[in-house]
Amino acid sequence: MTEFDLAQTSLRELNQALHEPGVSGSWRVTNPRGAHAVAVGIDAPVEVDIEGHVGYYCAGMNKRATVVVHGNAGPGVAENMMSGEVRVKGDASQGAGATGCGGLLVIDGNASARCGISMKGIDIVVKGSVGHLSAFMAQAGNLVVLGDAGEALGDSIYEAKLYVRGAVTSLGADCIEKPLRDEHKAELRALLGAAGLNGAVEVGSFRRYGSARKLYQFHIDNIGSY
Amino acid sequence: MGAPDRWIHTPPRKSASFDDAAIAEIRRAAATGIYDIRGAGAKRKLPHFDDLLFLGASISRYPLEGYREKCGTDVTIGTRYASKPITLKIPVTIAGMSFGSLSAQAKEALGRGASTVGTSTTTGDGGMTNEERQHSSILVYQVLPSRYGMNPDDLRRADAIEVVVGQGAKPGGGGMLLGQKISKRVAEMRVLPEGIDQRSACRHPDWTGPDDLEIKIHELREITDWEKPVYVKVGASRPYYDTALAVKAGADAVVMDGMQGGTAATQDVFIENVGIPTLAAIPPAVQALQELGQHRKVQLIVSGGIRNGADAAKALALGADAVSIGTAALIALGDNDPHFEEEYRALGTTAGAYDDWHEGRDPVGITTQDPVLAARLDPVLAGRKLANFLSVMALEVQTIARACGKSHVHNLEPEDLVALTVEAAAMARVPLAGTNWIPGAGK
C-alpha cells in the first residue's frame, strides 16, 4: 500500500508518482480536501482509494486504473475516461463521465446536470438520480439511472443507450423511449452486476431511451427541434 | 408614333443595398429554406493589414544589410509554465484544421511543409491521425468542445496543447461537418454513425467560464506532467478581456483568430457578421498582456487573413509573437488552383472563389474525403510548395524587419507603422500616414 497525504504532499507529486512507468498496487490518498485533478491521467492497473471529497476532474482521462472516491466528487469526475473503473461513494457534480470513451463509472449517490454529456463509449451507473440535460449529445455507451432523470434527457443523442428506472421529467430533442428487449435486459443485468448490484434490482423495472435518428441529417422541416 | 423608348426610360440602375449578392441570397434562401453554409472566412471588405505601411529607415533609423546582417526569426512558445517549450524557426505556424474537413493527404502535406521549415502544425476537430503525427515535427493538439478523438495518449504525444474556446470565423459557434465528409474512418475517429451531418458543441462539456478554464488547464498540465505548452485559442470578439482571462487561467500562449480566419463549414451569416477583424483584435490583446506584465512571456499568436510576409510583419510589429495561417496554407497546397477551372465551373464556381469545402467535392483533393479526389494531391509535392511559401513569408518578414533596422523580427514595433485610413489607424492604434494622429488616443 502506497500512502499519499495531500495535507503533507503536493498534488503534483501524487500525479507524477502515478504516472511513473510500471506503477502498480494499491494506493491510498488522504486529505484530498476538495483538490482538483486528483489521480488524473493514470495509465496503469493501480487501485487508488481517495479518502474524502474531491474537486473537479478527479480521475480524468483514466486508463486501466480503479479509482474510488470515498466522498463526493466535483464537476467532470472521470471526464474522458478511456478504461478502468471510477467509483464515487457519495454524490457527483455536473458533467460526470463527460466525453468518456470507455470504462465504468459508478456513482452511489446522485449525479448533477449533464451526467454523461457527449459520452463516447463509457458505461455510467448512477444509483440515485441525474440532473437536467444528462446524456446530451451522447454518442455511445450506456447510462443507467436507478432514480429519476431531470429535464431534456438525451437531448440530441446519437447512439448511446439510456436506462432509467424512475421518472423522467422530459426527453430532449430526438430522444425517444424504445422497447426494452431481452438483449437490453441482459446488457442491463451485466451493467448492474459490474456496479455491485447483482440481483438487487429488477431489470424489467427500467425503461430504455435512445435516438429517434431524425436529426442525423439536417432538414428544414425539423427546424423546431434544433 | 411618339418618341423612341430610349427617351422615356432611364438606364437600368441596381440598388447599392439590394446588390446582386443580396438578391441572389434572398432567392437561394427562398428556394431552399436553409441558410447558406460554406467554408473559408469573411469575404467582405474589412480594415486589414493592407491599410498599414512600414516607415522603413530614415536619418534617425538605420537599416540592416539585407544579405549580411542577421535578422532572427525564431520564436519560443511555452516559457511561462511548460517544462518543454517549443521553439519554431519561423514565426509562422499552421492553424488547426481537422482530418475530416481535410483529406489525409492534405494533413500530411501540411506536416511535411511545416516540418521542412521548422514550424508547427495543429490538429483539429476530430483528433490526431498517425499520418500527421508522423509528418509533423512539432504538432499542437487541440482540445475542442466536441472532444472528438480526444485521448490521453495523443495528449502525451503532442508537443503542445491548444484549448479551443472559439475561432474567428464563428466566435460562439460549434463545428459542423456534413454527411458527405463523414467517411468510415472519420466516423470511427469521432465515434459517430457514418454519413450523418455531424454537429459539434459550441461550449466545452466540462467547464464554463474563466475560473473553470483555469481548473481545466491545470488538469491538462497534471495529465501531461507540466511538460507541454498550453495555448488558449479564442475567436476575436472581446480581445482585451479574453486575453486577460486566458492569462489568468494559466495559458502559456494566446491564439487570437480574427474574422477573416477560415472554417471548414459554417453559416455564411455567421462568418460575415460575428466577430471582429484581425487588425482590430491585436492592439487590445497586446494591451492586456502588457498591463499584466506578460507581453513576450505569454506568447500571442495571431491568425485570420494572413496572406504574406507583410501581413505577418505587421502583426508582429503590433505585438504578436507569431502568426498562424490556414487558408493561405491550403492555397499553397493547391486549393483554388486555376488549373482545375473546368471542374470548378462544373461545380458552379470559379477558381479563386470556391468555398463549398463542406461538400467534399474539392477538385484539388484537399477539402474532401473522396478517395479518388484525395489521391490527386501529392503530399510530397504539396508539402514542398507549402515549405516554399513559408520560406518566402519568413524572407519577406526579414526584408521588412531589416529595412526597419531590426536584428530580430520581434523587434518590429508599432512605431514602425502608419495607417492609410482613419479606420485602420484607430484599430491598429498607429498614426494616420503623414500625421501624428491616432484616432481615439486622446491626442
Q: pLDDT tens digits, residue range B26-70?
A: 999 999 888 899 999 999 999 999 999 999 999 999 999 987 899
E-strand stretches of B285-427 = 299-303, 322-325, 417-419
Residue B267 within any structural domain of the chain: yes
Residue A146, helix vs strand vs coil: coil
Q: Total domain count for chain B?
A: 1
Buried b (16+ CB within 10 A) or exposed e, A43-62: bbebbbbbebbbbbbbbbbb
Beta carbons of B299 and B254 less than 8 angstroms apart: yes
Residue A217 confidence class, pLDDT cut points 50, 70, 90: confident
Beta carbons of B236 and B47 less than 8 angstroms apart: no
Round to whole Å and give the CA distance between B67 and B402: 10
pLDDT at A18 over 80: yes
Q: Total domain count for chain A?
A: 2
Of A90, A125, A152, which one is at a domain's C-terminal end? Answer: A90
Of A90, A120, A152, which one is at a domain's C-terminal end? Answer: A90
- Based on C-alpha coordinates, what's the Rg of chain B? 23
Query: What residues contact A86, with CB distance under 8 A and at least 6 apart?
Result: A58, A59, A62, A66, A67, A68, A69, A77, A78, A103, A104, A105, A106
Sequence letter at residue B176: M
To which H or E segment does residue B28 belong?
helix B20-32
| Neighbouring C-alpha atoms within 13 Å toward the C-beta of B73 | 26
A73: which strand partners? A54, A92
Is B179's CB within 8 Å of A217's CB? yes
Residue B189 within any structural domain of the chain: yes
Of A90, A114, A145, which one is at a domain's C-terminal end? Answer: A90
- Claim to verify: residue A125 and residue A38 sit in the same structural domain: no
Q: Note down the domain range covering A62.
A: 1-90
Rounded to a whole number of angstroms, the distance from the CA of B35 to the nearest CA of chain A is 10
E-strand stretches of B242-313 = 253-257, 266-267, 299-303
- Claim to verify: residue A85 and residue A99 sit in the same structural domain: no
Residue from B156, B206, B266 to probe the interface with A (highest A Cβ count within 10 Å): B206
Judged by a CB distance cut-off of 8 A, whether residue B219 touches chain A is yes
Round to whole Å and give the CA distance between B342 and B351: 9
Residues of chain A with C-beta less than 8 angstroms from the C-beta of B222:
11-12, 15, 37, 40-41
- Claim to verify: residue A22 and residue A66 sit in the same structural domain: yes
Give the domain CATH number at B183.
3.20.20.70
Is A99's CB within 8 Å of B152's CB? no
Residue B17 within any structural domain of the chain: no
Rounded to a whole number of angstroms, the distance from the CA of A192 to the nearest CA of chain B is 24
Compute CA A124 distance to the chain's CA centroid, rounded to the nearest angstrom: 4
Q: Note down the domain range covering B315.
A: 49-412
Residue B225 within any structural domain of the chain: yes
Residue B16 within any structural domain of the chain: no
The pTM is what?
A: 0.96
Beta carbons of A131 and A94 less than 8 angstroms apart: yes
Residues of chain A with C-beta less than 8 angstroms from the C-beta of B152:
41, 43, 61, 63, 80, 82
Give the cell for residue B291: 498591463
Helix axis angle, A11-18 relative to B209-223, nearest 10°?
40
pLDDT at B8 over 80: no
Residue B78 within any structural domain of the chain: yes
- Claim to verify: residue A115 and residue A200 sit in the same structural domain: yes
A126: which strand partners? A107, A145
pLDDT at B6 over 70: no
- Claim to verify: residue A18 and residue A107 sit in the same structural domain: no
- Claim to verify: residue A211 and residue A105 sit in the same structural domain: yes
- Claim to verify: residue A116 and residue A192 sit in the same structural domain: yes
Residue B339 within any structural domain of the chain: yes
- Claim to verify: residue A70 and residue A146 sit in the same structural domain: no
Round to whole Å and give the CA distance between A223 and A53: 43
Judged by a CB distance cut-off of 8 A, whether residue B155 touches chain A is yes
Compute CA B359 distance to the chain's CA centroid, rounded to the nearest angstrom: 21
Is the ipTM of this structure higher than 0.85? yes
Select, from the ranges A212-226, B176-190, B262-276, the one with the highest average predicted confidence (pLDDT).
B262-276
- Claim to verify: residue A106 and residue A5 sit in the same structural domain: no
Q: Return the pLDDT at B4.
A: 61
Is B205's CB within 8 Å of A114's CB? yes
To which H or E segment does residue B161 belong?
strand B160-164
Q: Return the pLDDT at B240.
A: 98
Q: Return the pLDDT at B5.
A: 62
* Long-range contacts, stretch B183-186, CB < 8 angstroms, 24+ apart: B183/B369, B185/B369, B186/B99, B186/B100, B186/B126, B186/B369
Residue B421 within any structural domain of the chain: no
Residue from B148, B182, B190, B219 to probe the interface with A (highest A Cβ count within 10 Å): B219
Beta carbons of A98 and A114 less than 8 angstroms apart: yes
- Claim to verify: residue A66 and residue A124 sit in the same structural domain: no
Query: What residues contact B323, with CB distance under 8 A and at least 6 apart?
Result: B91, B92, B93, B301, B302, B303, B306, B311, B312, B315, B316
pLDDT at B143 over 80: yes
pLDDT at B118 over 90: yes
Give the cell for residue A28: 491510498
pLDDT at B271 over 90: yes
Sequence letter at residue B161: I
